[in-house]
């Protein structure tokens, strides 16, 4: 999601006046914006020398002596090429060593302090967005992944001054490529959904389902249409049309069981990994009838767990019957 950023002339004028006309020791305080959920973050600008303003990170309603141990950035005079001023941003290891131990501070990660600073609106032509596992920063026409592991400088006009680390360039290209693939994948899924939906509605009118196949169930997003097609073919026929692995076989009390694992031909929104599903196949010894029943992918039966460890028929039977611990074979009551 992209931040709502725009240039705020009033804030920029306050800081520029402090740099060019303020006396040493003068200070100004600005806070982040509510629109970007950064209003809790504040910054104190202190005129340190004739041509230098140091910037410290503070929090709304909380200022401690330790807040001024290390500056997060420095603001200096510069040429018109950089908008009349340049900002040197320090990496997290320099100004927050204790927080560094608690949070992941790698290139491409979210920098909430930098987000809050840019939301002040004193730098022009800036953009920040999160895309496919990376935070992207845009300086004028240059977009890169966030720089977290070294100091860097940029001008008030949003022009990048420092050399961009290769890793940040590569992370940006990777995020862009993943986004392109996801966009194409979604476009294909949208097309398949539209065409299959039209075929199901035509078949409903004519009674001719020859233009459809069992796997078309997975192309539909509308639950009612998907259920209608599933009822037409039956669950067994749909599952038989998908490649699967037999994870485990067992025979209990004369009944044969198989634990099957399917790779379903669709993906949930925002998920790039294949969707796995586990089913228990049961064969009635008297009639030969086959019944397939869905079970969790994890042996604990937790809806929150993403582990794939349901690998035993008895674990599946235990979950189905609600047994605690090992599976208990039912006994005939007389």
HEC secondary structure over 198-249? HHHHHHHHHCCCCCCCHHHHHHCCCHHHHHHHHHHHCHHHHHHCCCEEEEEE
54 domain-assigned: yes
| Whether residue 71 is found in the same domain as residue 196 | no
| Whether residue 78 is found in the same domain as residue 139 | yes
| Whether residue 67 is found in the same domain as residue 116 | yes
Is the separation of the CB atoms in 106 and 178 below 8 Å? Answer: no
| Whether residue 24 is found in the same domain as residue 99 | yes
User: Which domain range does residue 130 map to?
Assistant: 9-164
| Whether residue 160 is found in the same domain as residue 55 | yes
94 domain-assigned: yes
91 domain-assigned: yes
Number of domains in the chain: 3
pLDDT at site 100: 42
Is the separation of the CB atoms in 31 and 17 below 8 Å? Answer: no
For 84, list phi and psi in degrees, rounded to 5. 90, -5
pLDDT at site 272: 56
334 domain-assigned: no
Distance CA 148, CA 145 (A): 9
326 domain-assigned: no
The DSSP symbol for 62 reads B
**Which among 164, 199, 229 is the end of a domain?**
164
| Whether residue 121 is found in the same domain as residue 268 | no
Is the separation of the CB atoms in 49 and 77 below 8 Å? Answer: no
288 domain-assigned: yes
What DSSP string runs through 152-205?
EEEETTS-B-SPPPHHHHHHHHHHHHHHHHHHHHHHHHHHHHHHHHHHHHHHHH
- The enclosing H or E element of 275 equals strand 275-283
| Whether residue 154 is found in the same domain as residue 38 | yes
Residuewise pLDDT in 10s, the chain (334 residues) = 688 888 899 999 999 999 999 999 999 999 988 888 888 899 999 999 999 999 999 988 777 788 888 999 999 999 888 888 999 999 875 545 444 434 557 999 999 999 999 999 999 999 999 999 899 999 998 999 999 999 999 999 999 999 999 999 999 999 999 999 889 988 988 999 999 999 999 999 999 999 999 989 988 988 899 899 989 998 888 888 888 899 999 988 888 899 999 888 765 555 556 688 899 988 887 887 888 888 898 887 777 777 888 899 998 898 888 877 778 777 765 5
**Which among 111, 132, 164 is the end of a domain?**
164
pTM of the model: 0.74
Q: Other C-beta atoms within 10 Å of 222: how many?
A: 12
| Whether residue 125 is found in the same domain as residue 202 | no
């Amino acid at each position: 999601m992209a931040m709502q950023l725009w240039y705020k002339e009033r804030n920029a004028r306050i800081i520029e006046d402090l740099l060019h006309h303020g006396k040493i020791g003068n200070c100004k305080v600005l806070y982040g914006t509510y629109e970007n959920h950064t209003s809790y973050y504040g910054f104190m600008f202190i005129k340190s020398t004739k041509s230098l303003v140091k910037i410290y990170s503070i929090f709304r309603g909380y200022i401690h002596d330790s807040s001024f141990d290390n500056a997060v950035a420095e603001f200096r005079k510069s040429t018109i090429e950089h908008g009349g001023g340049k900002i040197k941003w320090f990496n997290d290891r320099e100004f927050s060593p204790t927080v560094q131990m608690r949070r992941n501070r790698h290139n491409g990660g979210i920098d909430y302090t930098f987000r809050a600073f840019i939301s002040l609106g004193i730098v022009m032509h800036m953009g920040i967005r999160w895309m496919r596992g990376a935070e992207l920063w845009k300086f004028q026409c240059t977009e890169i992944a966030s720089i977290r592991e070294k100091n860097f400088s940029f001008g008030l006009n949003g022009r990048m001054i420092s050399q961009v680390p290769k890793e940040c360039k590569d992370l940006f290209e990777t995020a862009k490529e993943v986004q392109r693939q996801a966009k194409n994948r979604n476009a294909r899924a949208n097309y398949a959904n539209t065409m299959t939906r039209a075929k199901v509605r035509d078949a409903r009118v004519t009674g001719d389902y020859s233009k459809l196949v069992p796997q078309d169930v997975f192309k539909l997003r509308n639950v009612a249409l998907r259920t209608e097609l599933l009822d037409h073919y039956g669950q067994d026929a749909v599952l038989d049309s998908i490649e699967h692995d037999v994870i485990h076989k067992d025979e209990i009390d004369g009944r044969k069981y198989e634990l099957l694992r399917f790779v379903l031909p669709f993906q949930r929104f925002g998920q790039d990994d294949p969707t796995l599903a586990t089913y228990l196949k049961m064969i009635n010894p008297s009639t030969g009838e086959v019944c397939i029943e869905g079970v969790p992918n994890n042996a604990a039966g937790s809806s929150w767990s993403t582990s794939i460890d349901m690998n035993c028929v008895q674990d599946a039977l235990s979950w189905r019957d609600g047994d605690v611990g090992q599976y208990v074979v039912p006994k005939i009551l007389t």
